[in-house]
Structure 1
Amino acid sequence: MRILIITTNGITREFVSWPERVYARALVKAGHEVHAYVYLGTQSWNKEKREVIDGVKVKRLTHRQWFSLDLIKYLLRDPRPDVVHLFHHSNQFNYLATLICRLLGIPVVLSPFGMLHDPYLVDDRDRPLETPPKYDEIITTLPQLFKTLLHRFRPKRAIKNYLWHAPILQAKKVVALSEHEREVLIKLGVRPERTAVIPIAQDSDWLEGIKPAPKSHDELRIFFLGQLKYRKGFDLLAKAIPAIIQKYPQARFIFAGHSPIHRDDLLNIVDEAGMRGYIQLPTHLSEEEKAALFLSSDLYVLPTRYEGFGIPLLESMSAGCPVISTRIPVIDEIITEGVNGLLFDYDNAASLASTINHALENPFLRHKLSENGKTAVKKYFTPQIIQQLEKLYTEVCKKPGTGAESSGAVNSR
């Protein structure tokens, strides 16, 4: 098949594990011709207008908000793809791409990737599970848009709301990462038969040639990998440190991630508790360094307040590093309490500290979680996920009336 991926910045040389790049290189390996349109930027990793990455032919396009002459030109001039796969529902190419593809008769698949990141749907993107989603404020159709414009005085916000959400109803299939996300899509008006649940893929060979990062013989290493945003719960782990150090003074905490937006807040928390000497804050981790830390850590902790999915959970399990995370939707679809990970109470630093201490005091439990995690993660390995994508692409490319279209949702579970 000829597959066109349209996304934001997901296919670059620098970020090997971003989902779109994982999907794209696996599809190439499976024998498909894969092209990608992505944002043109000014960074070292997104300033080249054209390059080939993992066999994927990448074009970077200019755009002004939701309009792109480059996108129109390439969709009309380039050889016609069999299917277009859009990623991220905040992707500013989505509306125009969906419109053009519908005119050309090209089937479109949309992967929103984390519906509760949506500022129109939730009051607080750092804590989206604390209040009900605002489904009645989402604009997905032109009649809804016209009605909103007639009765409200914020036309720019209403139009942006529509451009952001209309492709959810216009795409031929919408791919959720979890059952929870699928339920959100259905409440937004997507018919159940137009949904599919396909999780993010994890390469099984990403640890080849990697050795565990060195540490002292008695150190208990606790690893946090994620953006330093309150949604990721870095503050909960920081607040839990004193109760852990009281029982395990040999514990050390590594906070790593590519977005240090609240780094000063983290330092303030540990400084007030006199815990600065127990943490490390690497400013940048290569893929190899990240893998080495997973291999050397006694626990991986993701104290998140919301996840669209949770890629580091898969990375940690595949590395045999026991996982501790929050008892919330999506996470509880990946982690089974006491089997392949431990779950603690939402937004509760005391519960997190207690759960970490329980794991540290029980090496047998950690071994059990490690072994079960390595087994549980296998269903997310790239070949299995790509088979599900290929099945979905084949389904959306079938012509109506042939009797070959599926009446149910593709589901990985």
Structure 2
Amino acid sequence: MARYSFRLPDIGEGIAEAEIVAWHVKVGERVEEDAQLADMMTDKATVEMESPVSGVVVELAGEVGDLIPIGSTLAVIETDDETLEAPAKEAAEDAIVAETPGAEQTPMAETVAPSQSVDPEPVKKPSLPSTAERETGLSTGSGQKGKEKPVLASPAVRARAKDLGIDLSQVQSDGDRIRHADLDAFLRYSAGQGYRAPGASRARADEPVKVIGMRRKIAENMAAAKRAIPHFTYVEEMDVTALEAMRADLNANRGDRPKLTMLPFLIVAICRTIPDFPMINARYDDEAGVVTRHGAVHLGMATQTDAGLMVPVIRDAQDKNVWQLASEIARLAEAARSGKAKVEELTGGTLTITSLGPLGGIATTPVINRPEVAIIGPNKIVERPVFDGDDIRRAKLMNLSISCDHRVVDGWDAASYVQALKKLIETPVLLFAD
């Protein structure tokens, strides 16, 4: 029987290794030609690995989360057409376990049969004597009756006990009345007896979660960006009342065109102001010491997916109108969320915009998408009264944040750029003027 070693192919773009994010086969299983073996993730995208032959899997390179160098063996497949017999399959699995570092086998002598298990005796909760029992010496469960003395406590203590769901007659005190310290002692003692205040939530068991796949790439990229880039963030408030009115009018007459959000208008404003501030639309190669100021705006769009944050890129955003941008935003967001975004749609950005929509908050300090030098973050729109001369009117206001690489962009330049954006956003007719 021949064995075929399937080696991880060169995925391109100088990738040296890839991470296993999912196995679609197990040792001992039969796999058909062109069937999926595994999903491998690089710095750019997730790639599906398919089996070049039919046969039985006898070896797999590692576990989910392991990094595999390009050219190394990913899987070994028996190319015989017949599947392994059950004993042979078990032997193959045992061989893999034996070769796995850290794998241990449990001695049979230490195995406890289900019939040998012993149910522990139930633990009885100790009952706390009441104040009446302590002072009269009578037990309410003894069948005797005695005159119980009233429980003495201040209004504040009574209110706290009520909030905690504590029966004051169950609380012991060394003095003539129950104090806050007595409540604290009761809580400490009864915490181990199953007592739980009404409305309190229960603690959950700790859950270790392995950081793999997209989550690990995000962690690595964010850590590298914060280590290498001296960030600063500038925030400005903008009146978007007129822009929101224009957006509503365009949506009311859009026909079969996509519905417009705030984002396409912001992108148009960004692209119109970039020519006067080329240092914003740039990439910095800190190893070569070269800043490339790009003529075209390839705008990254931070998108939340089930796998984590992805940044698909709108190519040549400066050449698109608001309707074309709305269509491209929807297309790229869907491709990212469904995992169908291509490598070229996730690379090559020159500037990034990130928005949390209605969750935008008052202000954000977004992290730069390295090697870019700036990232723009619009925040949520709120309605507030504002002064308009001597009059007061209702206005829709939005804060806009920009984080910049201080090695390339000075604070004055960033502030000037945002002020240019503000002029267009607050006078939206200029967005459509030649």
TM norm structure 1: 0.25
TM-score normalised over the length of structure 2? 0.24
Which structure is higher in strand share? Answer: 2
Higher relative contact order (CA 8 A, sep 6+): 1
Q: Larger Rg: 1 or 2?
A: 2
